[in-house]
Structure 1
Amino acid sequence: MLKSMLTKETVVVEDTCDTWQNAVLKAGELLKNTGAIEESYITAMAESVEKNGPYMVIAPGIALLHARPEDGVNEACMSLQVLKNGVSFGHKERDPVTLAFAFGAVDAKLHLQALQQLMELFNDEERLTKLKNCENVEEALVLLNE
């Protein structure tokens, strides 16, 4: 499932992103450009961080950006930004974020399948470290598809 969601169109390697707001915007735009989400979903992700704080920073250096399906998800989707310089979301222990995944689900079953595969990636320390340090999209895609 991750292989079909994380593609050349939905993965970027950035060294110029400077705020969490820009990270959310870019991650959302990657999904919007594929037609998977509406603009309202990007707004909902940003509002969720503003309202609830940095709870989306789920592990050291990793954010899982999301909102509710009814906020504008057209199909199950995921994007990844590799943030070379890291971005602060305001989490005391887990900042800076260097991997920002954006995720949209249309139902609970698909949601759980995608998250399970993502957790397998998060548990592979070596692959995760390489992903955080990759230099380009092609290198990131190789690591994601291992």
Structure 2
Amino acid sequence: MPLPQLTEATVRLGAAARDWRDAVRVAGDVLVASGSVQSGYPQRMVEVIEEFGAYVVIAPGLALAHARPGSDVRADGLSLVTLQTPVSFGHAHNDPVHVVIGIAVTTADAHVTGIADLANAFNDPDLVPALGAATEPATAIDLIEAATARGAV
């Protein structure tokens, strides 16, 4: 599955979040605003972490928030959120998180391959800090596109 494209509308930089639940909801709200998902999806993203733990924190400073495909997913979608202040998800090694990627997919196969492909884009240890420092959505998009062009995905 090719990754959904980030656009300036699906990137939110410097978002405020009191805790990991807020951070995940911001990423989900961007997906709602993009039309990819319905309003219940951000809460499902939170419930996945409540049930299964902080496994979504896949690299230092990075969480890949998602939920399984469901009737509230209209189309594959991707969001990128950086946080004003990092938050703890409870991960032993990769907290605190300052970049949250939200993902929504329409099929179970896309769920597995999409998350794996996206995770591979973050093999470059400099990518998360660079995203966290981005001040313009276009810069963040360029960083992700460069990571994929290098064959990370």
Instruction: Give the TM-score range, shorter chain.
Output: 0.7 to 0.9
Where in structure 1 are there 5+ consecutive unaligned residues?
A: none
How big is the shift at 1:13? 0.9
Q: Could you say if the C-alpha distance between residues 42 and 75 of structure 1 is closer, same or farther in structure 2, counting changes exceeding 3 Å?
A: same
Where in structure 2 are there 5+ consecutive unaligned residues?
A: 147-153
Between the aligned partners of 2:116 and 2:53, the Cα distance in structure 1 is 24
Give the CA RMSD over aligned residues.
2.0
Q: Could you say if the C-alpha distance between residues 119 and 55 of structure 1 is closer, same or farther in structure 2, counting changes exceeding 3 Å?
A: closer
- TM-score w.r.t. structure 2 length? 0.82
Q: Could you say if the C-alpha distance between residues 23 and 71 of structure 1 is closer, same or farther in structure 2, counting changes exceeding 3 Å?
A: farther
- TM-score w.r.t. structure 1 length? 0.86
How big is the shift at 1:62? 1.1
- 1:81 is matched with which residue? 81
Between the aligned partners of 1:104 and 1:40, the Cα distance in structure 2 is 12
Range with bigger deviation, 107-116 or 86-95: 107-116
Between the aligned partners of 1:129 and 1:71, the Cα distance in structure 2 is 35
Identical residues among aligned pairs (%): 34
Between the aligned partners of 2:45 and 2:105, the Cα distance in structure 1 is 13
* Moved segments of 4+, more than 6 Å: none
Alignment of 1:51-66 (within 5 A): 51-66=51-66
Instruction: Count residues with an aligned counterpart.
Output: 145
Q: Is the 8 A contact 1:35 1:74 kept in 2?
A: yes
The amino acid that maps onto 2:77 is C
Q: Could you say if the C-alpha distance between residues 46 and 127 of structure 1 is closer, same or farther in structure 2, counting changes exceeding 3 Å?
A: closer
The amino acid that maps onto 2:96 is P
